[in-house]
Structure 1
Amino acid sequence: MNRKIGDRMKDDYILLHRKLYVLFRQNWSMEHTSLLKKIWKNSLQRSADENLEDLLQGLLFDMKTATILVDEIGLMQAVVCAVLLFRPVNRGDASIDEIRGVFGEEVASILRGLKKVNDLTGKKTRVESENYIKLLLSLAEDIRVVFILLAEQLQSMREAKGASPERRLDLSVESTYLYAPLAHRLGLYTIKSELEDLSLKYTDRDTYDFIARKLNETKRSRDRYIAEFIQPLKERLDKTNLKYEIKGRTKSIHSINNKLKKQKIEFENIYDLFAIRIILDSPPQLEKTHCWQVYSIVTDMYQPNPKRLKDWLSIPKSNGYESLHITVMGPAAKWVEVQIRTRRMDEIAERGFAAHWKYKGIKEESTLDDWLLSIRESLENKDADIKEKLGDFKLDLYDEEIFVFTPKGDLFKLPKGASVLDFAFAIHSKLGATCVSGKVNGKNVPIKQVLNSGDQVEINTSSHQSPRQDWLNYVVTAKAKTRIRQLLKEEAGKQVDIAKEMLLRRMKNRKIELDDPLLMQLIKKLKYKTVTDFYIDIAAEKLEVNWVIDRYLELGNKELEQRELPSATSADNFVLKPHSQITGGADELIIDQNLTGVDYRLAKCCNPIYGDEIFGFVSSQGIKIHRTSCPNAHDLFSRFGYRILKARWSGKSSGTASYTSVLRIIGNDQINIVANLMSIISKEDGVQMRSISIDSNDGLFQGNITVMLANTSMLEQLIKKLKAVKGVKSVSRLN
């Protein structure tokens, strides 16, 4: 088989094969290994020559995915086997029954889950499709399928460097919107960070390179400071009997970028670029004791900030994360975050729920099943809107947690921002449905009261209470939102039946026959989005039944008159005029697949021009076109991934000035420099200057120049010429 592998794939194949062979030899019988090789050999022999390279590329991808599962998530045997066997099974080169006979039911079960996901996603075009919801629902069946999907996504992102811009955008949106938060919820922080960093790299390369360069430039001074901070700590820790490891960890590029945007500060002003981590080798029964002992040593040496203490030792996060975080004042009056945890806690922090299996019996309680159950319940709600399902899914992935207690002292974990009503539904759906108020720490409060960690909550109910539409504004948990919607739908169904019966009875009394198409026309004319909303308003007496019947008769008479008039134009002569493009230029955009002639607007937040890598966003004002490097792109990907559309420029640029771009220029404040800049712009063919704003201070000038031009090539040429002006320090494109 090696002779058939191209030279460029051979080294990768050999390296991965050796690593996986060690795994096979240590954990599987010779029968397992022989069958695996036999299945792959059959696949290669059955593959046509023109498909052989694709099949081998697929094998390499699967082996790399399996390596991620082993090295970075910590899974072995059954999961790795399922990954390596799925391609032959999916091609029909081996059956699941055959696999079950040698590898057992566990591997066969994972393969069935993978096959189900593959079948459902084969025709998936974007994240709001119904198949996508079914995919999410399938995640709850076997957590190992989730880990495999995450590993495959990570490997796809690592290989996306040479892919098309459209493919990179697709992968980045998926990673930002679903896979990164999913990895976060499962405690796979390293994978989460890499997915986010790669998404930033593919969508905003300039920002990524800027932060990476700054980190590299400051690495030496940062390492020197970490060593200065650690040295006295090591001297104190060495005097104890504790076995430990201490190291510095730099924050991810994505998280640094978030700080720059949220805090609106310069890179040099970020104080927490890194954290110090102390990892203890402690027996299970002494873990907390040793962690608090180290806490005492650190805070004796460095002044702590009590507001920044985070104790996840006493009450771990729902994803199993355990650690003690403190922020202390280090040398040169700099704040430094110190994380204290044991080896077991560190492995769980790095590998999430996958590491729990290794330590089964030490920590019996796990909330993973509860979380998967709540996700399944949300997604199984057939009445809920698809976007509502996705919203609930993301809500549960991203929440910070608070801890509240029942009067008997039972502990409940809820997302930050949860209300009394959320707490009631968390205990039981019936309790939530009949909740009228609550008692928080002995004080009566309304159902919308937001809870804080440590609150003791008692629920007051009434048999006359029933859910209302505005309750959805008071809750944040997926369980509460799902159950409220279900109850409202049930109540609406009852009201619709009552209203229908009332309308039919009145029409019968007035000897009027009901024409369903005519009634539908009336409902549409009254601007109701659904028939249900129409009947609910009748039941609520917002619409008077006789008034509705009168409008129905008027519409029927008008329809009759129109049918009696001769037709002005035959259907054969009717021509559908395409939508005009709002940009007004000759350059055409292709949106989604091959959709042209669609109304769109260029987003003002990033001013895309012909030649930029772009995407479409479905907003309330229609489709807006953004650059993939837009400062708002990450927020749109992570919050509204289902509204993202592919977009690309088509044809050739017209060469006329039609796109706006703003340039930021910084330079020495010297005579004639601004005049020289303006002269260059005025002489440039196809470039028009629209505005200029210059400020001068301490011998430096900085300002913004707005120009109109046709494409990125003209913009790059202009920037190059402006940078060549003597005294100019930098020229960059804003937004």
Structure 2
Amino acid sequence: MAVLQKTNLDNKHTHPRGIENLVKQIQTYYPSADLDIINKAYTLAKRAHTGQYRKDGSPFMSHPLCVASILAELKLDLYTIVTGLLHDVVEDTSVSLDIIKEQFNDTVAFLVDGVSKVSQINFKNTQKKDSENMRKMIVAMACDVRVILVKIADRLHNMRTLVHLPPEKRLKVAQETLDIYAPLASRLGIHSIKVELEDLAFQHSDSEAYYSLMKQIDSEKKDMEKYIAEVIHILEKEITTQMNMKVKVTGRPKNVYSIYQKMITQNMDYNEVYDILAFRVCVNKVEECYKILGLIHSLWKPIPGRFKDYIAIPKQNNYQSLHTTVLGEKGKRIEIQIRTHEMHILAERGIAAHWKYKTESWKNKTTLDNETLKQFNWLQDLVSLHRQNTHSGEFLESVKVD
């Protein structure tokens, strides 16, 4: 048995070695947090996982630490982060749910139990089986969405380290990720995680296509970077000169899986995909979005049928932004998204960005407010579909629709 460093849980400024970075993450958005519960969860998890190792040879405890870190990046509540640290102890160690309840509380025990039950779902690559498993995930999410947020964070870290598994296992996990976890992340509006899950799953599910496409994208990297800088300079200059607004303009190639999907669905080669570059303009007020849209359309010719107003009519996952595709500099097609800074936070963090931190919530139970639950009413719609015994294919599609 490894000797655990003694932890002084009475001093909230003293943290066990190994969680310093996690503590710093939490303090960036909750500086007054009582972190004793984090220390306690880390100490219990480390003791429980002593002697266990991951496929890459690293101590198993590195995994729950990384899961907790992903949850902290989403700025979630302490109980969710504690669940990230403890999510494997009931399933993989001698620690019982009763011990979790005794040492923490009913909420943490409920969340850990929920994640354990979701982890036991036996995924198989058939539409009927996928539909049944997705139903179970939706029911778990309806009970407390934090269960699925922890599971998505768990899957993201496993995907980041998937290379250490045998090829057959990698393929199975990657396909599950494309079929189940990426659509769930999308439905929850967590774009940053959805994109990373898709690209990692693509890399392992069809490595030949992935590396072939990456090679083509990399061959144009310098030209892309130069073009992106040029477009950003033009936009910033024109917006500042004509509108005197403070904006943030960024540009990037679209994620590799979305490019691949376009090639497949539209039966085209990479060099036939024109709108590979996407730009984003973030502003302070909603009315500024429409003003900048007009300016952009005066600079570059818009492509007919490629304008979408997700501000007036948000997506089901609450995503808001203006999308337009124009013939930019040198006649290249580029997509430009225009949104407020608040909309951008919601687009990246989704439902996690709505979490309400109230003093009593940190001590007892952290919940989403009623307004947010109404905004995510698609979840209740999916539960209703589940109860109606909807056909497998229809149910899966209803989950995957953006």
TM-score (norm 1): 0.46
The 2-side partners of 1:365 and 1:151 are apart by: 21
The 2-side partners of 1:361 and 1:136 are apart by: 17
Structure 2 residue corresponding to 1:57, chosen from 56, 59, 67: 59
Q: Indicate conservation of the 8 Å contact 1:186/1:353, yes or no.
A: yes
Aligned partner of 1:253 in structure 2 is: 256
Q: Is 1:357–2:358 an aligned residue pair?
A: no
SS of residue matched to 1:272:
coil
The 2-side partners of 1:172 and 1:317 are apart by: 26
Q: Indicate conservation of the 8 Å contact 1:100/1:107, yes or no.
A: yes
Q: Is 1:379–2:386 an aligned residue pair?
A: yes
> Which consecutive unaligned segments of at least 5 residues does structure 1 have?
6-13, 401-735
Structure 2 residue corresponding to 1:276, chosen from 266, 276, 279: 279
Letter in 1 for 2:246: K
Aligned partner of 2:313 in structure 1 is: 315
Aligned partner of 2:81 in structure 1 is: 80
Q: Indicate conservation of the 8 Å contact 1:16/1:64, yes or no.
A: no
Q: Is 1:22–2:24 an aligned residue pair?
A: yes
**C-alpha distance 225-188 of structure 1, shift in aligned 2 (>3 A):** same
| Residue 194 of structure 1: how far off its partner (Å) | 2.0
Letter in 2 for 1:338: I
Q: Indicate conservation of the 8 Å contact 2:195/2:255, yes or no.
A: yes
Structure 1 residue corresponding to 2:175, chosen from 145, 165, 173: 173
SS of residue matched to 1:201:
helix
**C-alpha distance 27-99 of structure 1, shift in aligned 2 (>3 A):** farther
| Structure with greater proportional strand content | 1
| Residue 116 of structure 1: how far off its partner (Å) | 3.2
SS of residue matched to 2:278:
strand
Computed over aligned residues only, the root mean square deviation of the Cα atoms, in angstroms, reads 3.3
Aligned partner of 1:113 in structure 2 is: 114
Higher relative contact order (CA 8 A, sep 6+): 2
> Which consecutive unaligned segments of at least 5 residues does structure 2 have?
6-15, 358-366
**C-alpha distance 328-32 of structure 1, shift in aligned 2 (>3 A):** same
Aligned partner of 2:45 in structure 1 is: 40
Aligned partner of 1:328 in structure 2 is: 326
**C-alpha distance 368-106 of structure 1, shift in aligned 2 (>3 A):** farther
Aligned partner of 1:343 in structure 2 is: 341
Aligned partner of 2:166 in structure 1 is: 164
| Structure with greater proportional helix content | 2
SS of residue matched to 1:321:
coil
Letter in 2 for 1:186: L
Aligned partner of 1:733 in structure 2 is: none
SS of residue matched to 1:352:
helix
**C-alpha distance 219-89 of structure 1, shift in aligned 2 (>3 A):** same
- Which runs of structure 2 are paired with 1:590-629 in the superposition (5 Å)? none
Letter in 2 for 1:36: A
Aligned partner of 1:209 in structure 2 is: 211
Aligned partner of 2:229 in structure 1 is: 227
Q: Indicate conservation of the 8 Å contact 1:113/1:138, yes or no.
A: yes
Q: Indicate conservation of the 8 Å contact 2:42/2:85, yes or no.
A: no
Whose radius of gyration is greater, 1 or 2?
1
TM-score (norm 2): 0.81
**C-alpha distance 191-29 of structure 1, shift in aligned 2 (>3 A):** closer
Q: Indicate conservation of the 8 Å contact 1:271/1:334, yes or no.
A: yes
| Residue 193 of structure 1: how far off its partner (Å) | 2.1
Q: Indicate conservation of the 8 Å contact 2:190/2:348, yes or no.
A: yes
**C-alpha distance 363-222 of structure 1, shift in aligned 2 (>3 A):** farther
Q: Indicate conservation of the 8 Å contact 1:137/1:380, yes or no.
A: no
- Which runs of structure 2 are paired with 1:383-402 in the superposition (5 Å)? 384=389, 388=391, 390-399=392-401
Q: Indicate conservation of the 8 Å contact 1:329/1:335, yes or no.
A: yes
Letter in 2 for 1:289: E
Q: Indicate conservation of the 8 Å contact 1:66/1:83, yes or no.
A: yes
Q: Indicate conservation of the 8 Å contact 1:82/1:107, yes or no.
A: yes
The 2-side partners of 1:374 and 1:354 are apart by: 20
Aligned partner of 1:507 in structure 2 is: none
**C-alpha distance 17-94 of structure 1, shift in aligned 2 (>3 A):** same
- Which runs of structure 2 are paired with 1:670-689 in the superposition (5 Å)? none
Among the aligned pairs, what percent are the same residue? 29
The 1-side partners of 2:123 and 2:335 are apart by: 43
| Residue 162 of structure 1: how far off its partner (Å) | 2.1
Q: Indicate conservation of the 8 Å contact 2:354/2:372, yes or no.
A: no
Letter in 2 for 1:399: V
**C-alpha distance 397-200 of structure 1, shift in aligned 2 (>3 A):** same
Structure 1 residue corresponding to 2:185, chosen from 177, 183, 186: 183
**C-alpha distance 340-308 of structure 1, shift in aligned 2 (>3 A):** same
Q: Indicate conservation of the 8 Å contact 1:184/1:397, yes or no.
A: no
| Residue 186 of structure 1: how far off its partner (Å) | 1.4
Letter in 2 for 1:392: E
Aligned partner of 1:218 in structure 2 is: 220
